[in-house]
Structure 1
Amino acid sequence: MEEELIAVHPGTLLPCGGTEDLLERAGLSPEHVTGEVTDGVLELRTPVCDDAGEAVAILGALRAELGEVTPLVGAGVHPLARFGEVVLRGGERYELIDRSMRAIMRQTPHCGVHVHVGMPDGETAVRAANGMRGWIPLLQALGANSPYWYGQDSGLASTRSVICNSFPRSGIPRAFEDYADYATTVEELRALGECPDDSYLWWDLRPHPRLGTLEIRALDAQSSLEDLVALVALTHCLAVHEASTVKRRRLPGPEALRELSFRATRDGLEARLLSEGTLRPVREVALHAVAVASAYAADLGCWDELMLVHRLLERGNGAVRQRTNAAEGGVELMLRRLVDETARWRSVRAVTSAPEAVATAG
């Protein structure tokens, strides 16, 4: 897993930048915490883990370590960041991104969660990717956690998704016939000169040949680790389901999937999504997804974590809580609670203490 969090000033809780200084002060290995293209965004990384609970426990421990150095915001975008106040870090990769994206990358920092699920071979990864395309709108709706944009309610549940969909090579990719079809597509894009390799594909999901995984990239960064572990458990189970299902199920066409994706990012838990050919409320679609996932949860060691999806549906996701807190005490209270929740580590299964989790990450 990889999660991106925004470092903020202890007093104002606004983005503070200074990635290099923060990393030096934290003293954590680059294998565990590194910088991102936007200064002040930190990426937390886990090693290969057996299950969602283990992965999120490690992220919780890393959050606690970083919390000794800087407060953190777990959200798709910082709710109060001002337009254009972005500093991009140097380096060949980031400079290419800057040249090709221009103002798109200079709007506001955006943060997501990337879940890698190991695949035995390229053909299985492509089969799983094709099937997971149909679940992306649901994951976007459940994981939406960025309703505030430049200090105002955007009317959307996930402004991060809107930003990401403005990128080249973004959104839900088409279905691929096989791994060779995927590889040919990557080569065609590489030959155009601004996509040196498949790490420059910003689709909502993609096979990751170098790691041997399917990478699902649809989730906003989360403040609540309980929400995060629920979403990761659901993602893991669905990916294994799609990898294990040889017969390809019929999915909506790419245009319909893009429409459903927009509705999910706009409406979050209030969206209506397609399930078995019928538009249904997100909560119904989510319960169906949990039923599908539950066939794999025990074997994957994430039954308790998967059941937390019910809790997320009952109390609301991050976008709902941000709006509830803002209604109660304004955006300043909302931001304070967002920071507090990001710092709160409550493991679902208390099997790994914070120091042990960081040691395991090493």
Structure 2
Amino acid sequence: MAELTPEQAQTQAVAGRGPAFLPPFTVSRLGTMGIELELMVLDRLTYDLLPAAPDILRLLDMQSKKWVATPEITTSMLEVASSILDGYGPAAAEIEEIRSSVQRAAFQVGAAICGGGAHPFQKWNEQRIYPKERYRESAKKYGYLAKMFTVFGMHVHIGVPNADEAIRICAWLTQRAPLFIALSANSPCWQGEDSGFCSARSNVVGAFPMSGTMPSHIRTWGDFSAHFARLAQHGIVNSIKDFYWDVRPKPEYGTVELRVLDTPLRPAYAAALACYARELCVEVFAAPGQWPLDDSREVYAWNRFNAAKDGVGADWIDPGSGLARPVREVVLEDLERLALRSTDPGFGEARRIIEELMRDGGQAGWLKAHMDGGSGMNDLSRLASEMFEHQPAAWPAQAEHDGTGEHA
């Protein structure tokens, strides 16, 4: 079978889903930023997942807003996406506006909202596929994995001025993606059990055939287009959305998209982590022609596993030097270096928040401390929701366990 050109692939019908299509890469201003958050919808009494996302979305559709809210694959989750942002201050303000608006809409339908990467005790078989054709097709294609995908992540988009540089930045950001898994890790429980991981969510994505990382042979946009065409010819992909890579180009937005984070438990954490990713991308862009020294998939897989398992307490193997270093040490070094070159007036505050995030074992450490103190699964879900909705001033790991001891 002769391979299709990228142009032919855009008109090739794939698996009955219509023509495969890879849009051209849109030019974006360097360092512009967009943040997507997948949020849990919870029952206000039991704090189990509640299939009320369609009702919340109907209320949000009535509002005039610069951000958007959309359905996700099951009806107990929804996604919110920011407008185009330029730094920590605007990001923190808009995400707080989003949180407040979604919380009010959820309250009207008897629901709560929550961050976090995975609900502590939901059962995948009880979830309902959102009544949208794309999600019905996903359920047919992936079977039970579609409902297992009721997990909650944060995606960060960083604007890049040209397509070839987007590919290069993808390669660099991929190497540091495990640091963001560690920093955001807050899903220690899975299906009602302590998973033994700080981010159980991170293990779910790997079950999908197009997960993982961008192949190392891709060095230009032309390489990526040819790769897309080859996969489209075999019916493996139909659009960029079929790539579940940890970092991928997003041509219609003109961005590089980091996809590995658990949805943070506080909006400010989301803004700060997005700004860290943004500064790394801007730094790489300023060094044209440089590529990572080591693109070993085995080293990356090990770094990813350690980050998901141990969170901010993990070690990270530096692909350049080959030395294993504590995640905390690497992140602090990054933040210090990036602060010297950043033009974002809010980066100092973002840096302070990330340093706060690494205390006491990070968000996963806080949740585990509550479990060790006797909290049940309902307690964890309730406390995480209250943290997201009410913005407590103190880092919650320092708060005393409330002693309810309620169990699911």
TM-score by length of 1: 0.90
Amino acid at match of 2:342: A
**More moved, 287-296 vs 175-184:** 287-296
User: Is the contact between residue 225 and residue 346 of structure 1 (CA under 8 Å) also seen in structure 2?
Assistant: no
Say whether residues 1:84 and 2:118 are aligned partners. Answer: no
Aligned to 1:5: 39
Amino acid at match of 1:295: L
- Measured after TM superposition, the shift of residue 229 of structure 1 is 2.3
SS at match of 1:330: coil
- Measured after TM superposition, the shift of residue 346 of structure 1 is 7.5
User: Is the contact between residue 164 and residue 219 of structure 2 (CA under 8 Å) also seen in structure 1?
Assistant: no
User: Is the contact between residue 124 and residue 150 of structure 2 (CA under 8 Å) also seen in structure 1?
Assistant: no
Q: 1:252 to 1:288 in 2, by over 3 A?
A: farther
Say whether residues 1:169 and 2:215 are aligned partners. Answer: no
- Measured after TM superposition, the shift of residue 170 of structure 1 is 0.9
User: Is the contact between residue 87 and residue 106 of structure 1 (CA under 8 Å) also seen in structure 2?
Assistant: yes
1-structure distance, mates of 2:285, 2:392: 31
Amino acid at match of 2:291: R
Q: 1:328 aligns with which of 373, 393, 401?
A: 373
Say whether residues 1:182 and 2:231 are aligned partners. Answer: no
SS at match of 2:155: strand
Aligned to 2:192: 151
**More moved, 328-337 vs 182-191:** 328-337
User: Is the contact between residue 82 and residue 108 of structure 1 (CA under 8 Å) also seen in structure 2?
Assistant: no
Aligned to 1:205: 247
Q: Deviations over 1:208-245 (max 9, x none)?
A: 11000111111111112232222112111112122222
Aligned to 2:51: 17
SS at match of 1:317: helix
Alignment gaps of 5+ in structure 1 = 348-362
2-structure distance, mates of 1:163, 1:263: 15
Say whether residues 1:47 and 2:83 are aligned partners. Answer: yes
2-structure distance, mates of 1:346, 1:50: 26
- Measured after TM superposition, the shift of residue 303 of structure 1 is 2.6
Q: 1:118 aligns with which of 146, 150, 159?
A: 159
Aligned to 2:299: 256
Aligned to 1:295: 340
- The higher radius of gyration belongs to 2
SS at match of 2:261: strand
Say whether residues 1:278 and 2:320 are aligned partners. Answer: no
Once the two structures are aligned, what percentage of the paired residues are identical? 27
SS at match of 1:226: helix
Aligned to 1:319: 364
Aligned to 1:310: 355
Aligned to 2:11: none
User: Is the contact between residue 161 and residue 265 of structure 1 (CA under 8 Å) also seen in structure 2?
Assistant: yes
- Measured after TM superposition, the shift of residue 108 of structure 1 is 5.5
Q: 2:145 aligns with which of 104, 125, 137?
A: 104
SS at match of 1:186: helix
Alignment gaps of 5+ in structure 2 = 1-34, 107-111, 394-408
Say whether residues 1:343 and 2:386 are aligned partners. Answer: no
- Measured after TM superposition, the shift of residue 163 of structure 1 is 0.3
Q: 1:194 to 1:277 in 2, by over 3 A?
A: closer
**More moved, 37-46 vs 251-260:** 251-260
Q: Deviations over 1:185-229 (max 9, x none)?
A: 122222222421112211111111100011111111111223222
**More moved, 251-260 vs 42-51:** 251-260
Q: 2:68 aligns with which of 29, 32, 38?
A: 32
2-structure distance, mates of 1:300, 1:206: 28
2-structure distance, mates of 1:192, 1:103: 23
1-structure distance, mates of 2:149, 2:142: 13
Aligned to 2:282: 240
Aligned to 1:360: none
- Please give the root-mean-square deviation of Cα atoms over the aligned residues, in Å: 1.9
Q: 1:186 to 1:198 in 2, by over 3 A?
A: same
**More moved, 251-260 vs 211-220:** 251-260
Amino acid at match of 1:304: E
> How many residue pairs end up in the alignment?
347
Amino acid at match of 2:388: T
2-structure distance, mates of 1:205, 1:300: 27
- Measured after TM superposition, the shift of residue 33 of structure 1 is 1.1
Amino acid at match of 2:44: P
Q: 1:100 to 1:52 in 2, by over 3 A?
A: farther
Aligned to 1:359: none
2-structure distance, mates of 1:28, 1:110: 27
Q: 1:100 to 1:308 in 2, by over 3 A?
A: same
TM-score by length of 2: 0.80
2-structure distance, mates of 1:301, 1:12: 38
Q: 1:12 to 1:299 in 2, by over 3 A?
A: closer
